[in-house]
């Protein structure tokens, strides 16, 4: 039943596949700017607060795994302390910037070396861009729904796993596969717990997506997962009246009150944090 619901939820959203398969974020940012996509600005301080907590505890640089990373947007904002508006101003101010110009843009930014980003996405082109611009240490082009996540072994242990906007496109199976890899690596590790603890998960989820199965997976792997008590976060504007009507109808069917939120013309997301009970 949940699988059927997930398919219905994805059907009501506009498909942006084409803008994720370009050699630069130009088209992606152009479309997201049109729709007022600024959720990454809102999640940035939420992720940073957890990273600062980890830095205080571990006294070293923090390994961040970004799921559904696309063109390294979270890395751009967190590691280089940019905003979505600043990214749009650079990429969309006139003609599409060259790779050389883009690299120079990032090189002029402040680089927070206390964060080491690793990225997973299904877009090979987006990951290649991110690697070439030094937005990540390494990216892996893999489908998290696939149980064969052997490529993850090439990553170091992660301290925090983040995801902005991709939960829903990835579901409980992806988290189950990922948590299985993490559990195996932790149990086979010779490193001390003070050096590498089980990672914290933090991610945004659109209110129209059901979290029940994902919550059960985290519980199964001995994690405590909670929805933050912060107000729902605006993600982006609806692409057209049809998308708005279908999303609001879906939310009403789930018993979700859309007044002050989706009724005003935007998708809204909740923020979740999962920590190991150990």
Q: pLDDT (tens digit, 9 = 90+) per residue, 52-106? A: 999 999 999 999 999 999 999 999 999 999 999 999 999 999 889 999 999 999 9
In the prediction, which pLDDT does 15 show? Answer: 58
Query: pTM for this one?
Result: 0.91
In the prediction, which pLDDT does 66 show? Answer: 97
Q: Which domain holds residue 223?
A: 2-276
Residues 6+ apart with CB under 8 A from 156: 63, 116, 118
Decide: 216 and 263 in contact? Cβ < 8 Å: no
Ramachandran angles phi, psi of 170, nearest 5°: -105, 140
In terms of C-beta density within 10 A (0-12 exposed, 13-18 middle, 19 or more buried), how is residue 35 classed?
Answer: middle
In the prediction, which pLDDT does 226 show? Answer: 97
- How far apart, in whole angstroms, are the C-alpha atoms of residue 27 and residue 12? 22
Residue 245 belongs to a domain with what CATH number? 3.40.50.150
- How far apart, in whole angstroms, are the C-alpha atoms of residue 10 and residue 4? 10
In the prediction, which pLDDT does 3 show? Answer: 45
- What letter would DSSP give residue 131? H
In the prediction, which pLDDT does 156 show? Answer: 87
- How far apart, in whole angstroms, are the C-alpha atoms of residue 231 and residue 92? 31
**β-sheet bridge partners, residue 81:** none
Domain count, the chain: 1
- How far apart, in whole angstroms, are the C-alpha atoms of residue 70 and residue 120? 8
In the prediction, which pLDDT does 114 show? Answer: 94
Task: Spell out, as residue ranges, where the chain has pLDDT lower than 70.
Answer: 1-16, 147-152, 187-196
- How far apart, in whole angstroms, are the C-alpha atoms of residue 238 and residue 206? 13
Decide: 246 and 12 in contact? Cβ < 8 Å: yes
In the prediction, which pLDDT does 21 show? Answer: 83
Decide: 204 and 275 in contact? Cβ < 8 Å: no
């Amino acid at each position: 039943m949940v699988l059927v619901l997930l398919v219905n939820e994805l059907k009501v959203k506009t498909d942006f596949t084409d803008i994720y398969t370009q050699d630069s974020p130009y088209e992606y940012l152009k479309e997201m700017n049109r729709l007022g996509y600024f959720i990454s600005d809102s999640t940035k301080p939420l992720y940073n607060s957890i990273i600062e907590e980890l830095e205080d505890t571990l006294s070293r640089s923090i390994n961040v795994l970004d799921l559904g990373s696309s063109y390294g947007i979270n890395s751009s904002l967190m590691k280089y302390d940019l905003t979505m508006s600043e990214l749009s101003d650079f990429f969309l101010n006139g003609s599409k910037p060259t790779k050389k110009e883009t690299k120079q843009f990032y090189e002029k930014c402040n680089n927070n070396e206390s964060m080491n980003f690793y990225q997973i996405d299904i877009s090979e082109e987006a990951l290649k861009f991110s690697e070439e611009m030094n937005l990540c240490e390494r990216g892996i082009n893999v489908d998290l729904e696939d149980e064969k996540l052997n490529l993850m072994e090439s990553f170091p242990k992660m301290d925090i796993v983040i995801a902005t906007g991709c939960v829903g496109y990835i579901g409980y199976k992806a988290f189950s596969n990922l948590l299985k890899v993490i559990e195996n690596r932790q149990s086979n590790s010779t490193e001390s717990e003070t050096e590498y603890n089980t990672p914290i998960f933090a991610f945004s989820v659109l209110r129209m997506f059901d979290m029940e199965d994902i919550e059960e997976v985290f519980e199964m792997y001995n994690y405590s997962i909670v929805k933050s008590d912060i107000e729902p976060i605006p993600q982006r504007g609806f692409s057209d009246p049809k998308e708005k009507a279908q999303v609001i109808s879906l939310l009403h069917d789930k018993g979700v009150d859309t007044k002050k939120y989706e009724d005003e013309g935007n998708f809204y997301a909740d923020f979740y944090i999962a920590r190991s009970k150990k």
